[in-house]
Chains A and B, each alone.
Chain A
Amino acid sequence: MLCDNCQENDAIVHLTRIINGKKEEIHLCEDCAKKSNKFKLDSFNNISFQSMLSAILNENDSSDSSFMNNNLNNNNCNSCGLNYSEFTKSGEFGCADCYLEFEDELETLFKRIHGNKRHTGKKPANIEAEKEFQAEIDHLKAEMESAVEDERFEDAAEIRDEIHEIKKSMEEDIDESKNI
């Protein structure tokens, strides 16, 4: 087999790397392998969250396995039939409704991938944001009350902060529409 890079020498180094979730096999001769080591391109590729995704997802699966697996969502998405364990293998949602079905698992996942769990960017103009925000706040308020009842005060404080964040982004939306 010839070297992928120079197409001249015999390939002696065979690498598999994952770029953007796609497996790619690389066959290099000794010279080209040395050169590519010099630039350590693979160490940059490793930074890619995309390639780390399946690792993150599967770690989620195996670490604390007894604890996690018991709590893992066993439901299938109503619209496309995907279940959470299939999702952890493919790293792809099947449809928008998967997001609702796996909601509880996704908070942790998004926090790990993005360090955040709430969108603050562009919104489609035709979205009825205010109504949805209000529904979310009502839902969280109920959760907060039951947390207080159970004397889970830390949880209650966390939910209170979340409500605060939602109110903030509601106000930002209103400010923006004034600008236009």
Chain B
Amino acid sequence: MNQKIFDNNWLVESGDEKDVVLISRIRLARNLKNHHFPNKASIVEKEEIIEQLQNNLSFLESENFHFFKMEEFSALERDVLQEKNLISKCHSENIEGKALILNNKLHLSTMINEEDHLRIQVFGSGLDFSTIWQVADQFDDQIESEVEYAFSNKWGYLTSCPTNVGTALRASVMCHLPALVLSERINEVLGAVGKFGLTVRGVSGEGSGSAGELFQISNQITLGYTEKEIIDNLKSIILQIIREERRSRLYLVNKNYDKLKDNVLRSLGILKYAHRLKENEALNFLSKVKFGLDSGLIEEDINKNIFSELIFKIRTAHLQLNNYNSQEELDIKRAELIRNSL
């Protein structure tokens, strides 16, 4: 495929509350009437579903959209798509009978025959649910006007997993919460969100554990509330978390000014001069530098968007696109890429 499309990075666009919220995301699950869900569909039926969508969705002919069978991608390209969150891990494995719709800007993707027939995802920079809901809603309308969905008056959109039934909407944000982690208030603040029907998980880089003090918060309940109610509820809790994070930043900077300034500047120093950097290491130092920039601890004239610009590029598959292969070579190229961006 044309690898130029991978260069697009909507995340560098400015967005609301971006000192804390990096990414907003909306996902809608949809299934076609009169077909088995993917877990019960044969490869032949899955191919029929792909063909039916390809033939019926007239908007796919517009040059804004691209339709791919997953087999068209190399393993490396699938890893890149996964690092960009455009496909899930599951969608990049056992690729027979699976397909993908992408828009030009790469902020809309639709996985075909993942857990459901259609998984529509729209991303936005910063806290931005009004725009991305509109995009997802309209895209859904476009599909709905050409195919018949599995829908019940009583239970809404029918999904393969009962946790998605109803609106089949999952709204989520990726938050950067370094001050809540540093002040060890993270459990207290995030622990409370479960009471509001939301879940939290640490965002991990390679391997496991949370990297870069990034957390993903999303709604769990999909049945019995309207899309607007679900999004408004999530948004109101996120705004509380943003307030707590900012409050902790102020408090920490006032209380431990010299210690923190030393810490973020050392991180900056490492990024500026390191010869080799592992993925998680790079993410953690970049997180510190972002914190330093957002809280005014780093006064040097550095691109404030550095974190958003590099968060995809420094990942392993993205680097491999340029033919760097051994672990050692990758770590060296990663360090070089970061050095040159500072």
Interface on A for B, CB 8 Å cutoff?
Answer: 3-7, 19, 21-22, 24, 26, 28, 32, 35-36, 38-41, 43-45, 47-50, 53, 79-82, 90-96, 99, 106, 109-110, 113-127, 129, 132-133, 136
Contact = CB atoms under 8 A, between A and B. Distances in A.
B82 to A, nearest CB: 14
A117 B156 CA distance: 10
B221 A114 contact: yes
Contact of B40 (A80, A123, A124): A80
Across the A-B interface, the 3 shortest Cβ-Cβ residue pairs: A116-B224, A119-B156, A4-B207
Contacts of A124: 144, 148-149, 151
B47 interface: no
A93 B163 CA distance: 11
Given A125-B144, A125-B145, A119 B154 contact: yes
A123 B158 CA distance: 12
B169 A121 contact: yes
A118 B224 contact: yes
B181 A39 contact: yes
Given A110-B223, A117-B223, A122 B155 contact: no
B150 interface: yes
Contact of B220 (A4, A43, A49): A49
A92 B160 CA distance: 5
B202 A39 contact: yes
B224 A117 contact: yes
Nearest to B327: A7
Interface stretch (B5-13, B67-75, B185-193): B185-193
A14 to B, nearest CB: 11
A93 B158 contact: yes
B201 A114 contact: no
Contacts of B222: 114
B21 interface: no
A119 B202 contact: no
Interface stretch (B30-38, B95-103, B293-301): B30-38
Given A40-B187, A96-B33, A124-B149, A114 B202 contact: no
B158 A96 contact: yes
Contacts of B225: 116, 120-121
A122 B153 CA distance: 10
Contact of A119 (B31, B199, B224): B224
A48 B199 contact: yes
Contacts of B157: 119
Interface in B157-216: 157-163, 165-167, 169, 181, 184, 186-187, 190-191, 194, 197, 199-202, 206-210
B3 interface: no
A56 B225 CA distance: 22
B209 A44 contact: no
B144 A126 contact: yes
A136 B187 CA distance: 46
Contacts of B148: 124, 126
B144 A121 contact: no
8 contacts: A38-B184, A43-B187, A53-B162, A95-B40, A96-B33, A117-B154, A118-B223, A119-B165
A8 to B, nearest CB: 9
